[in-house]
């Protein structure tokens, strides 16, 4: 299933991936993709973003929701990138996790998609839902750390990067939150939740 999958966020470098992923919290990738062209035109790198005026930045990202917190995170992260990493996004899990607004999902997205580093498995709302429905975890979908740990124990490390993209694609196309298409799902025979959702 889904042999050619990649992130739906349209980005061209690690800085853009970091920013877009921070913006994607509680927001669709499609909405983020509408915002980022103007954002990246105005702030093409961490140095430019670190000098941003809060009000202008909030105006650009307003439609992604939670824009006050996201602006604060973007400014703090970009300032730390400039001060501690010469304006570059580090290819290191601990360094990424030290940035404001960056938790494991964002760090894994950047490391997996930009640097090819299988630091973990990205757990977004789709991955959490499918992991629970398919019986890969018993953790509630709000427990991303436990879900990630459970998936990492099941999935070979060489597949960590692609498994989240495949689960996300399946969650968007077939195993949706409200009305999953169980009757047309190629995983229906393996799924303990088939027809029960």
Active site residue 29: no
Alpha carbons within 13 A on the beta-carbon side of 8: 19
Centre a 10 Å sphere on the Cβ of residue 145 and count the other Cβ atoms it contains: 13
Choice among 17, 29, 70, 105 that is catalytic = 105
Residue 124 annotated in active site = yes
Radius of gyration of the chain (CA): 17
- Which of 17, 29, 70, 124 is catalytic? The answer is 124
Number of other CB atoms surrounding residue 89 within 10 Å: 23
Asked if residue 150 lies in contact with residue 131, where contact means CB atoms within 8 angstroms, the answer is yes
Question: What are the structure tokens assigned to 10, written together?
Answer: 């349209």
**Whole-angstrom Cα distance, residue 113 to residue 17?**
8
Residue with tokens 């439609």: 63
The three-state secondary structure class of 75 is helix
Active-site residues: which are they?
105, 124
């Amino acid at each position: 299933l889904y042999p050619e999958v990649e992130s739906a966020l349209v980005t061209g470098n690690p800085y853009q991936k970091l920013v877009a992923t921070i913006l994607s919290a509680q927001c669709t990738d499609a909405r983020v993709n509408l915002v980022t062209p103007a954002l990246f035109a105005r702030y093409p790198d961490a140095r430019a973003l670190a000098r941003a005026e809060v009000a202008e930045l909030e105006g650009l990202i307003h439609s992604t929701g939670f824009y006050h917190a996201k602006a604060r995170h973007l400014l703090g992260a970009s300032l730390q990138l400039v001060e501690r990493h010469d304006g570059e996004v580090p290819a290191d899990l601990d360094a990424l996790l030290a940035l404001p607004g960056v938790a494991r999902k964002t760090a894994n997205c950047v490391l997996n998609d930009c640097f090819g580093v299988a630091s973990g498995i990205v757990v977004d709302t789709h991955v959490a839902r499918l992991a629970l429905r398919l019986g890969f975890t018993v953790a509630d979908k709000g427990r991303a750390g436990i879900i990630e740990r459970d998936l990492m124990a099941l999935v070979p490390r060489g597949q960590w990067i692609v498994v989240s993209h495949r689960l996300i694609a399946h969650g968007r196309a077939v195993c949706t939150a409200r009305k999953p298409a169980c009757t047309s799902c190629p995983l229906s025979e393996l799924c303990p939740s088939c027809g029960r959702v």
